[in-house]
Amino acid sequence: MTSPVLTMKDVSIDFPTPAGIVNAVKSLSLTINPGVKVGFIGESGSGKTTTALAIMRMLAAPGRVSSGEILLGQDKTNVLTLSEEEMRRARLRRVSYIPQGAMNSLNPVMRVENQMWDAIVAHEGKTDLATLRSRSDAALESVGLPARVGRLHPHELSGGMKQRVCIALGVILTPELIIADEPTSALDVVTQRQVMETLTEVQTRIGCGLILIGHDMGLMAQSVDELAVLKDGVLVEHGTTRQIIENPQHPYTKDLISSVPLVGGETFLSPAVAAPASQKTGPEPLLEFRNVTKRYGNVTALQPMSFTLEGDVPQIISIVGQSGSGKSTMGSLMLGFNEPSDGQVLFEGKDISRLSTSEALGFRKNVQAVFQDPYACFNPFYRVEHALKFPFKRFGLSQSDAHTQTAMEEACQAVGLDPDLILRRYPHQLSGGQRQRLIVARALMLSPKLLIADEPVSMVDASLRASILKNIYDLKDKYGISILYITHDLATAYHVSDYVIVLYHGRVAEAGPPKEVIGNPQHPYTQLLIDSIPWPDMNRAWGTSNRFDAEAHLAKAEVQPTIYRGDVDGFNLSTQFA
């Protein structure tokens, strides 16, 4: 048994704030052995990043380690007693840190290789150019990038490539410990899988310890050896990944595991009650796309697409795809924020770009949305109730102030919020989950006929996603609202939707009922997406295959025409394959 690369004994971290001292981390003890990957998991605010920063001695002022010791490496250096200069020398050479947003951590005005040379020169003194170049080229090749990437500037690289450059930078001095802080949270699943493969491969080769910080239990289960579960700064559970996934002890760990939706797994929704009558009035289909195309300059964001959503029975239609697939474009077309380049978008038989003022108000009332970013949806100037009260009055639903107040309170309760605690607050005083629920409550108050939910849970903590999706699902189930659910998450789409459309480069790749499309994908693109999702299943080979051939799949996906996997009543889709 070799000695550990990192020993933390009783580490506590404090942040003095106006409201008293916050104990961000409370007496945490942990050892990490060489060659072992440890996952720190917990929701935002659980102290996982704070712990990692403390190891690097990079805590933001006024935070500080109030007690305990952090011993690094075989020689048991206590990093807390090092001088600033000794610490500088230890960073990167002994502990390296791979940040969350690689896109923002590279210097935009320097070539990639120059940034790597900087790192070498800062630690090893003056080195001749040929050595520098050969070392940076070797580091880039070790993360699967061609050496010519070194000659490029960061803006010429994709998100996944930048993240790999950061990994190359992190391992260029073969450190004893790598800390990777949510290295893939800004990447789509396909790239995420590639980056994680690279990271584990490099780590195994140099045999260092790895701390992987994240909140996605699926990703953790697929990539680390040991798991440390943090909650409110306390280490609640620690053990091998298999042990924790298969036999979690702490209730919080159980919650984390069960909150990951599985394709084909048990549903997290309550069994459907008898569907209520639809809100729909009149014989016209609720929403219709007639050969809708959207182009931005030379780029076609959406290829010609036609569908009708009858809306006689409330349904959830999922539109699935990666960033750039055109799914958000579809959402903004439906909301009338964007006009189609060709074709028409019709709501109850009327072209939404040609509505009179009063019709437009009616359209607005009937088509509502939940957006991705719950932080941006509230005007920071007003109390949150403004977002609920204003549209209610504007659409003439309010009979009196008292009526508005009751309606708001009822809506809050329906989404599981306490109106007395929430409504009078300012947006920055609420968590992301609370805000997103309020937006759902807002939609509920207005009782639209159609709701566009554009990535409603992608910016919310994993443990809250299921409950918010359930709130949205209830809108259909209890209030008869038809929903278009736009997402990149196939697992949730599998559970909530009646019909799934998979978009790739503005084209429909595969469409049909979710059991068919996601449960048994036929299109190469859908197959790739589903293969790339990490989920907490220890027996699945994810991220260990030898460089899985994403490119080959994508090349096949380009030429593969749309695959229709069956119809559901009330929704008809047709496309022209261009």
Partner 1 sequence: MTSTDQSPQTRADRATAKRMRRFDNPWLNPKLIWGASLLLFIIALGILGRFVWNLDLVFTGSTPLKLPPVGFENLRRQEGVWDYPLGTDGGGRDILALIIMGAPNSLFVGMLASLIGMSVGITLGFTAGFVGGRTDDTIRILSDVMITIPPLLILVVFQAAYGDVSLTMMALLIACFVWQSPTRLIRAQVLSMRTSGYVQMAQLSGASTPHIMFREMLPNLVPYLFGSFIANVTTSIVTAVGLEVLGLGPQRIPTLGRTIYEAINAGALIQNLWWWWGIPTLLLAVMFIGLLLINLGLDEISNPRLRKLS
**Could you tell me which stretch among 70-78, 172-180, 287-295, 369-377 binds partner 1 (CB under 8 A)?**
369-377
CB 575 within 8 A of CB 303: yes
CB of 379 to partner 1, least distance (A): 4
Number of residues that bind partner 1 (CB under 8 A): 32
Among 11, 106, 387, 486, binds partner 1 (CB under 8 A): 387
The three-state DSSP-derived secondary structure of 489-516 is CHHHHHHHCCEEEEEECCEEEEEECHHH
The enclosing H or E element of 432 equals helix 432-446
Q: Which C-beta is closer to partner 1: that of 262 or that of 361?
A: 361
Among 3, 10, 16, 544, binds partner 1 (CB under 8 A): 16
In 56-184, alpha helices (H): 84-90, 102-105, 112-124, 129-142, 159-171
Rg (CA), the chain: 26
Cis peptide before 62 (omega within 30 of 0): yes
Among 169, 377, 441, 496, binds partner 1 (CB under 8 A): 377
Q: Which residues does 181 contact at the CB level (< 8 Å), separation at least 6?
A: 49, 52, 97, 98, 99, 100, 213
CB of 357 to partner 1, least distance (A): 10
Phi, psi of 268 (to 5 degrees): -95, 5
Question: Is beta strand 95-98 parallel, antiparallel or unpaired with respect to 177-181?
Answer: parallel
Does 297 bind partner 1 (CB under 8 A)? Our answer is no
Q: Which C-beta is closer to partner 1: that of 16 or that of 519?
A: 16
Does 44 bind partner 1 (CB under 8 A)? Our answer is no
**Could you tell me which stretch among 125-133, 382-390, 518-526, 551-559 binds partner 1 (CB under 8 A)?**
382-390
Q: Looking only at residues 333 through 362 of this chain, which bind partner 1 when binding is defined by CB under 8 A?
A: 335, 337, 360-361
CB of 60 to partner 1, least distance (A): 11
Rounded Cα distance between 46 and 26, Å, is: 10
Q: Which C-beta is closer to partner 1: that of 133 or that of 386?
A: 386
**Could you tell me which stretch among 183-191, 366-374, 500-508, 554-562 binds partner 1 (CB under 8 A)?**
366-374
Does 376 bind partner 1 (CB under 8 A)? Our answer is yes
User: Within its chain, how far is the Cα of 41 from the centroid?
Assistant: 15
User: Within its chain, how far is the Cα of 484 from the centroid?
Assistant: 19
Does 424 bind partner 1 (CB under 8 A)? Our answer is no
Handedness of CA 543, 549, 551, 555 (dihedral sign): negative
Does 18 bind partner 1 (CB under 8 A)? Our answer is yes
CB of 431 to partner 1, least distance (A): 14
Q: How many residues in the chain?
A: 578
Does 373 bind partner 1 (CB under 8 A)? Our answer is yes
Q: Which residues of 399-424 are buried (b: 16+ CB within 10 A; e: fewer)?
A: eeeeebeebbbebbebbebebeebbe
Q: What is the DSSP letter of 75?
A: T
The residue with tokens 């295959």 is: 545
CB of 277 to partner 1, least distance (A): 25
Q: Which C-beta is closer to partner 1: that of 202 or that of 468?
A: 468
Does 550 bind partner 1 (CB under 8 A)? Our answer is no
Does 56 bind partner 1 (CB under 8 A)? Our answer is no
Rounded Cα distance between 79 and 144, Å, is: 33
Q: What is the DSSP letter of 568?
A: B
Considering only CA atoms, which of 486, 285, 481 is closest in space to residue 365? 481
CB of 376 to partner 1, least distance (A): 3
Does 564 bind partner 1 (CB under 8 A)? Our answer is no
Among 105, 239, 284, 375, binds partner 1 (CB under 8 A): 375
The residue with tokens 């729909």 is: 280
Q: Which C-beta is closer to partner 1: that of 209 or that of 374?
A: 374
Q: Which C-beta is closer to partner 1: that of 21 or that of 552?
A: 21
Does 368 bind partner 1 (CB under 8 A)? Our answer is yes
Does 499 bind partner 1 (CB under 8 A)? Our answer is no
Q: At what angle do helices 189-206 and 550-559 cross, to 10 degrees?
A: 160
Rounded Cα distance between 223 and 221, Å, is: 6
Does 55 bind partner 1 (CB under 8 A)? Our answer is no
**Could you tell me which stretch among 165-173, 277-285, 308-316, 391-399 binds partner 1 (CB under 8 A)?**
391-399
In 259-369, alpha helices (H): 327-334, 357-366
Does 20 bind partner 1 (CB under 8 A)? Our answer is yes
Does 63 bind partner 1 (CB under 8 A)? Our answer is no
Q: Which C-beta is closer to partner 1: that of 3 or that of 379?
A: 379
CB of 380 to partner 1, least distance (A): 7
Does 380 bind partner 1 (CB under 8 A)? Our answer is yes
Q: Which residues of 333-344 are buried (b: 16+ CB within 10 A; e: fewer)?
A: bbbbebebeebb
- CA dist 238 to 69, 175, 229, 231, 249, Å? 19, 24, 6, 12, 10
Does 104 bind partner 1 (CB under 8 A)? Our answer is no
Among 21, 275, 421, 555, binds partner 1 (CB under 8 A): 21
Please report, as ranges, the residues that interact with partner 1 according to CB under 8 A: 16-21, 62, 335, 337, 360-361, 364-365, 368-369, 371, 373, 375-382, 387, 390-391, 394-395, 428, 439
